[in-house]
Amino acid sequence: MNLYAVRAIYLFELARTWRTLLQSIATPVISTSLYFVVFGAAIGASMNQVHGVSYGAFIVPGLIMLALLTESISNASFGIYMPRYAGTIYEVLSAPISPLEIVIGYVGAAATKSVILGLVILLTAGLFVDFEIAHPVWMLIYLVLTAFTFSLFGFIIGIWADGWEKLQVVPALIVTPLTFLGGSFYSISMLPEVWQTITLFNPVVYLISAFRWTFYGVADVNVWLSFGMTVVFLLACLGVVSWMFKSGYRLKN
């Protein structure tokens, strides 16, 4: 393992975050805070509890997951797309560093930024609503697992995209709508039975449900099924990345 090369890529990507704090951290935190103000404080004050939890506290895991998914994909996709766009990716590919080390550097930095963002939003949420974390260790584990998984997914998008527009297609038109419809602001048990069944085909439901369980010990679907699906998606992304490097797909041409 060439730790010097991994460290160089990792620190370079993290340094870009500190240069763009307004875009990387401040903007998503402010946007999420507005959700807490509107849904948690204003609307939540007139709503009944959901699964024994106040509505303002109930939406905290969903909002963190919404920011985590979108930022993980965005950070990782932009991180690998820029070297491709500028042509510096060839210097990385010709260096004495393996594909695994390249992935660890880029994806690790994107996941780190997303975890930091998730923790900042978690602290910010405490300014608006009172909540508790029933399983703090599992919460951190699942936060890191989700950040790494979707950073890897974003890495794939960054290699696949052949233009700036395509970098935004998946997060804006697929991930964000699925997250809003995946129980961020409600429990799927509140839906009519037919819509509950349809909602179970939304993979984000399992992510939010498991993350909410780490906070309040309640979940819409089986927790271990949710963890298992996340791991399966992670392995699938690793398989795709491995194929991309072996075939040179949009990396060597």
Q: How confident is the model at residue 106 (pLDDT cuts 50, 70, 90)?
A: very high
Is 225 in contact with 206 (CB distance < 8 Å)?
Answer: yes
- Of 34-48, 143-157, 194-208, the range with the lowest mean pLDDT is 34-48
Alpha carbon 217 to chain centroid distance? 21
In the predicted structure, residue 92 carries a pLDDT above the cut 90? no
What average pLDDT score do residues 226-251 get?
Answer: 90
In the predicted structure, residue 206 carries a pLDDT above the cut 80? yes
**pLDDT score of 88:** 84
In the predicted structure, residue 22 carries a pLDDT above the cut 70? no
**pLDDT score of 44:** 60
Q: How confident is the model at residue 27 (pLDDT cuts 50, 70, 90)?
A: confident
**pLDDT score of 41:** 65
Distance CA 61, CA 71 (A): 15
- Of 19-28, 86-95, 120-129, 215-224, the range with the lowest mean pLDDT is 19-28
Q: Which residues contact 140 (CB under 8 A, 6 or more apart)?
A: none
Is 61 in contact with 211 (CB distance < 8 Å)?
Answer: yes
What average pLDDT score do residues 86-93 get?
Answer: 85
Residue 72 identity (one-letter amino acid): S
Distance CA 205, CA 207 (A): 5
Is the pLDDT higher at 209 or at 173? 209
**pLDDT score of 43:** 66
Distance CA 210, CA 45 (A): 25
Q: For residue 102, what is the enclosing H or E element?
A: helix 99-125
Helix (H, G, I), strand (E, B) or coil at 249: coil
What are φ and ψ of residue 54, in 5° steps?
-60, 150
Q: How confident is the model at residue 17 (pLDDT cuts 50, 70, 90)?
A: confident
Helix (H, G, I), strand (E, B) or coil at 224: helix
**pLDDT score of 131:** 86
**pTM for this predicted structure:** 0.90
For the chain, the farthest-separated pair of C-alpha atoms sits apart, in whole angstroms, at 60
Is the pLDDT higher at 159 or at 168? 159
